[in-house]
Amino acid sequence: MKESHKLELLPPKINYTLLVKEISEANRILGSLTGLLANIPNQSLLISPLLTKEAVASSKIEGTQATIEEVLKYEAEGKSSQKDSKEQDIREIINYRTAIQTAIKLLRKRPIGENFIKELHSILLDSVRGANKDKGHFRKVPVYIGKPGATIENAIYIPPAASAIQELVSNWEKYVNSNNEPDILVQVAIAHYQFEAIHPFLDGNGRIGRLLIPIILYEKGVLSYPILYLSEYFERNRVDYYSYLRKVDKENDWESWIKYFLKSIKEQSLDTKAKVEKMLEIYKSVKEKLSGFNSQYAIQLLDIIFENPVTSFRNIKSKIKSKSYQTIYNLLSKFEEEYILIEITGGRRNKIYVFEELMKIIR
């Protein structure tokens, strides 16, 4: 029978001379993104739609089929109009987003480590497929990774034995919290591979590993806010993503994996910067229109629809301080007249509104 992978402890020996160009480029381009973000007073306005996009992309790698529109509409309705399988997909995506939001808060209380990742895992698998797979606990049994229907004999990868997980995670935790690696982006690339290779949980390892990337960069001070998400790049280049991870398993080829990871940092930094610039343009353009609305709640509504580009009257009413339904309806009518919002339900009650200009950017 095939044996489980004997994973070496971190840090590995990396030939930095092979990576000089890639490290320089990735750090330079990421720096241009962080420079842009430094001048934005309310970064949380931007992170909300981009975070939902990341949750959709990361979950899609694992096989979910829900789109970002379906997720946002599901939340706006406050109920499901989806079939069971699609609702499960949506709930998994929402859980992923909640896990990242929780991770940001947890960093104020504790370092990234065993308890940290176990808490995120509990959130990720809460009330969804895989919830029966010992959420919040490391696996106690052997597992293997392969194509559907594969046996252990033709598995693509067999993670370390359950008995090795504690030592490997402790070593991973020590490495993540160290400052000994010459470059932080390389450190995160190594940490991501190692987490996926340990495969500490029965389910959800890929998603936890991917959501930790921006969290570690944020904790290390590389990002002023965890707004750089790589899952979209990994999803577009899924074959390469898994191929380079496996090259480390089989050939100890760290350098090829790190080059691929640095390329993903570079590409997603450029993509995120372009999206943020467009979002800022839209915010400024709409805000200028609002000066003629003669409403003290207009800016507040703009902020609401930036965070929730598909939203409901119910949601808006809960967030705007005005107690007058008519005041809010009048304001929404003005937003529709200026084509800022589109009402998509056509009914008189439980109306759903879409901020189409923003949706075009995050689809």
pLDDT digits (tens, 9 = 90+) for 29-51: 999 999 998 888 788 787 889 99
> Are the C-beta atoms of residues 128 and 92 closer than 8 Å to each other?
yes
Question: Where do runs of H (alpha helix) occur along 177-253?
Answer: 184-198, 205-219, 231-236, 238-251
Report which residue type is found at 254. W
Extents of the domains making up the chain: 16-275, 291-362
- Sequence-distant (6+) residues with CB within 8 A of 311 are 72, 76, 304, 305, 352, 353, 355
Query: Which residues fall within 8 angstroms of residue 3, CB to CB, at 6 or more apart?
Result: 158
Assigned CATH topology for domain 16-275: Fic-like fold (1.10.3290)
CB atoms within 10 A of CB 118: 17
Pair 332, 311: CB distance under 8 Å: no
- Which tokens in the block code for residue 1? 């029978």
According to the annotation, is 241 in a ligand binding site? yes
Spell out, as residue ranges, where the chain has pLDDT lower than 70. Answer: 1, 79-84, 129-132, 323, 348
φ and ψ of 157, to 5 deg: -155, 135
204 is in an annotated binding site: yes
Q: What is d(CA 289, CA 340) in angstroms, rounded to the nearest whole number?
A: 10
Whole-angstrom distance, CA of residue 225 vs CA of residue 303: 18
Distance CA 264, CA 9 (A): 25
Instruction: Please provide the size of the chain in residues.
Output: 363
Handedness of CA 204, 205, 206, 210 (dihedral sign): positive
Residue carrying structure tokens 């293997």: 144
Comparing 16-275 with 291-362, is the CATH topology the same?
A: no
Provide the percentage of residues in the chain whose pLDDT is more than 90.
81
pLDDT, tens only, 260-298: 999 999 999 999 999 999 999 999 999 999 988 989 999
User: 35 a known binding residue?
Assistant: no
Structural tokens at position 160: 């370390």
297 is in an annotated binding site: no
From the list 265, 249, 245, the residue with the least C-alpha distance to 257 is 245
User: 10 Å Cβ neighbour count for 79?
Assistant: 8
- The pLDDT of residue 82 is 52
Token couple for 97 = 């987003």
- Is 153 labelled a binding residue? no
Q: CA end-to-end span of the chain, whole Å?
A: 46
Q: Does the annotation place 96 within a ligand binding site?
A: no
Query: Tens digit of pLDDT for each residue in 133-175?
Result: 789 999 999 999 988 888 888 899 999 999 999 999 999 999 9
Q: What is the pLDDT of residue 132?
A: 64
| Under 8 Å between Cβ of 222 and 34 | yes
d(Cα 293, Cα 198) in Å, to the nearest integer?
56
Q: Are strands 352-354 and 342-343 parallel, antiparallel or unpaired?
A: antiparallel
Class of domain 291-362: mainly alpha
Residue 1: predicted pLDDT: 64
Question: Is position 225 annotated in a ligand binding site?
Answer: no
146 is in an annotated binding site: no
Q: What is the pLDDT of residue 346?
A: 79
Q: Is 8 one of the annotated binding-site residues? A: no
Catalytic residues: 199
